[in-house]
């Protein structure tokens, strides 16, 4: 019961913290840097799921775990991607814009793609996916908090500047708690699949990082823009992945479909942090 209530509330607060760090000018950058924004959105919405899908032909995972990997791949970038982009020397303004835009788009893209993935990987055992219901739930716990956070910053900017760091810290703590709770709830599944699931997630993460900078360089984007897109692709909103898995399962607690997202919530930092510094050298100069 605590998880059933705490998970959506925690996700809502995490998304509020994202909106709280935004201004309306961030959305204006869609027009100011259309090539970079469009590339980042397409790579996040289309390329990430495609890479995950192809990778699952190489690694033999149980259907439920494969479905969970796909759920994770449909999620937008994580709230910490902006911080990691800054550390990597990427374009922070682009990172903020991509996180916000793709998070709002996910209300539409995630339910539709989850329904397809359920049929594809689970077949006759796929749970019935209420696309409209999941879309409405996601709008309530993702888009609405982002909008509230955005409006709160606009109404009281001085207060927002003072407490933004505290809000972001609390959001990070809630993220860690959710990941730990998801792994603890499914500990036997986690230990049974760790050695098969771990390599998939690590390879997926590494491929996304490399693909991000590779495509950016190919189409002539700047080094900082490429690093930003790379990080946005590699850092997923694992909390949302766990929440969506719960919506699909329509059961109390955290289901097995959430295990890949929970594990990725840990491995993505292990791979992305050293990876982004290596990629920074690729784009040096």
pLDDT digits (tens, 9 = 90+) for 242-273: 888 888 877 666 678 888 988 888 888 889 88
- Given a contact cutoff of 8 angstroms between Cβ atoms, the answer to whether 148 and 21 are in contact is no
CA distance 92 to 111: 29
Position 207 scores a pLDDT of 95
* Three-class SS state of 59: coil
Condensed to tens digits (0 to 9), the pLDDT of residues 5-25 reads 667 777 788 778 877 877 777
Tell me how far CA of residue 196 lies from CA of 5, 62, 166, 284, 285, in angstroms. 31, 9, 38, 35, 39
pLDDT confidence bin for 205, thresholds 50/70/90: very high
126-136 residue pLDDT tens: 788 888 888 88
Task: Return the bridge partners of 77, or none.
Answer: 236
The SS3 call for residue 23 is: coil
**What are the tokens at 277?**
């510094």
Q: Where are the chain's structural domains?
A: 2-278
3-state secondary structure at position 236: strand
Banded model confidence at residue 285, pLDDT cuts 50, 70, 90: very low
* pLDDT, tens digit (0-9, with 9 covering 90-100), for 60-109: 899 999 999 999 999 988 777 877 887 788 887 788 888 888 888 988 99
Between these two residues, 54 and 155, which has the higher pLDDT value? 54
2-278 adopts what CATH topology?
A: Na+/H+ antiporter like fold (1.20.1530)
Q: Which range, 26-35, 84-93, 199-208, 266-275, has the best average confidence (pLDDT)?
A: 199-208
Residue 58's contacts (CB-CB under 8 Å, 6 or more residues apart) are none
């Amino acid at each position: 019961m605590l998880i059933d209530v705490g998970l959506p509330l925690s996700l809502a607060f995490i998304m509020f913290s994202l909106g709280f760090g935004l201004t309306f000018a961030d959305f204006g950058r869609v027009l100011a840097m259309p090539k970079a924004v469009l590339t980042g959105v397409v790579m996040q919405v289309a390329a990430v799921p495609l890479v995950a899908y192809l990778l699952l032909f190489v690694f033999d995972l149980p259907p439920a775990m494969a479905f969970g990997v796909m759920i994770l791949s449909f999620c937008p970038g994580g709230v910490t991607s902006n911080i990691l982009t800054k550390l990597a020397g990427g374009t922070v303004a682009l990172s903020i814009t991509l996180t916000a835009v793709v998070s709002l788009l996910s209300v539409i893209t995630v339910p539709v793609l989850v329904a397809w993935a359920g049929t594809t990987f689970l077949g006759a055992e796929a749970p019935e996916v209420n696309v409209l219901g999941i879309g409405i739930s996601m709008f309530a716990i993702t888009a609405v908090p982002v909008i509230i956070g955005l409006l709160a910053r606009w109404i009281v900017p001085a207060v927002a500047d003072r407490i933004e760091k505290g809000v972001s810290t609390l959001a990070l703590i809630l993220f860690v708690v959710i990941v730990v709770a998801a792994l603890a709830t499914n500990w036997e599944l986690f230990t049974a699949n760790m050695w098969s699931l771990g390599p998939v997630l690590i390879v997926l993460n590494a491929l996304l990082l490399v693909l991000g900078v590779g495509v950016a360089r190919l189409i002539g984007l700047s080094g900082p823009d490429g690093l930003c897109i790379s990080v946005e692709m590699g850092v997923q909103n694992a909390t949302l992945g766990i929440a969506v898995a719960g919506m699909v399962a329509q059961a109390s607690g955290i289901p097995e479909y959430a295990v890949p997202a929970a594990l990725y919530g840990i491995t993505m930092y292990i791979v992305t942090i050293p990876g982004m510094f290596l990629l920074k050298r690729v784009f040096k100069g």
